[in-house]
Amino acid sequence: MSLTKFNFSAKTVQRSLNWMFPPWMGAGIQLETLSDDFRRARVKMPLRPFFNRNYVGTHYGGSLYSMCDPMYMLQLLHVLGPDQFIVWDMAAQIRYQQPGKSTVYADFVIDEELVESLRALQPNEKKIVNLPVDVYSLVKDDNHTGEESRNDNKTIVASLIKTLYIKRKPEKDEQAESNDTPMQSKL
């Protein structure tokens, strides 16, 4: 059964990913914020011994990718509506910029221009989009407390490009006709 049949709120999705999504639980990845309209999200991952730290003491590359993997697909499904669109991950590219030695973050933003271009698709029309995201750490602030501040500079740890396949589903009448055709040929 597909979970896209249910209309979950942003809070329910956030709780589910944080507490029941195995790839994130083990690495300590958390969906820190998710806007009610699913257009903005921030994911964070602290550096944890034995869970997401590699042999040389920095963030494991697989965990850096894992924190970004489901987000754009999940966001677009909710923004566009799973009853009207098919959204699939097709590919991803990741380029590691420098070692992650502290908590890392990734911000996911679905802009209105993208949403409008996708909603303009005709039934059965598809589009492939590349969506970039940076995984970053925050440079320590100048007050020497060692605390990180959202106003401090971001240091890019990894850059990703997620490639998504998006297709507008056929109209209900077309679906019914296409579903009838194979059955009629069997009779």
Residue with tokens 């019914």: 176
pLDDT digits (tens, 9 = 90+) for 18-44: 677 777 888 889 999 999 999 999 999
**Dist CA 74 CA 31 (whole Å):** 12
Residue extents of the structural domains in the chain: 3-186
pLDDT digits (tens, 9 = 90+) for 141-163: 555 555 555 556 899 999 999 99
Nearest alpha-carbon partner for 137 in 102, 107, 99, 97: 102
Q: What's the confidence (pLDDT) of residue 182?
A: 35
- What contacts 138, CB < 8 A, 6 or more positions away? 102, 103, 105, 148, 149, 150, 152, 153, 154, 155
- What contacts 187, CB < 8 A, 6 or more positions away? none
**Dist CA 109 CA 39 (whole Å):** 6
Residue 101, pLDDT > 90, answer yes
Q: What are phi and psi of 155, to 5 degrees?
A: -110, 120
Measure the N-to-C terminal CA separation of the chain; round to a whole number of Å: 29
Q: What's the confidence (pLDDT) of residue 8?
A: 75
Model confidence, pTM: 0.80
Q: How many helices (H) and strands (E) does the chain have?
A: 6, 6
**Dist CA 97 CA 118 (whole Å):** 31
Mean pLDDT for 75-84 is 92
Q: What's the confidence (pLDDT) of residue 6?
A: 55
186/107: higher pLDDT: 107
Q: What's the confidence (pLDDT) of residue 186?
A: 43
Q: What's the confidence (pLDDT) of residue 151?
A: 53
Mean pLDDT for 97-125 is 95
Query: Whole-number mean pLDDT of the chain?
Result: 84
Nearest alpha-carbon partner for 100 in 41, 162, 24, 156: 156
Nearest alpha-carbon partner for 51 in 19, 22, 21, 28: 28
**Dist CA 24 CA 41 (whole Å):** 15
Q: What's the confidence (pLDDT) of residue 1?
A: 39
54/109: higher pLDDT: 109
* Cα 22–Cα 25–Cα 28 angle in degrees, nearest 5: 150
Instruction: Select the CATH number that applies to the domain covering 3-186 from these four: 3.90.870.40, 3.90.1170.50, 3.10.129.10, 3.40.50.620.
Output: 3.10.129.10
Q: What's the confidence (pLDDT) of residue 43?
A: 95
87/14: higher pLDDT: 87
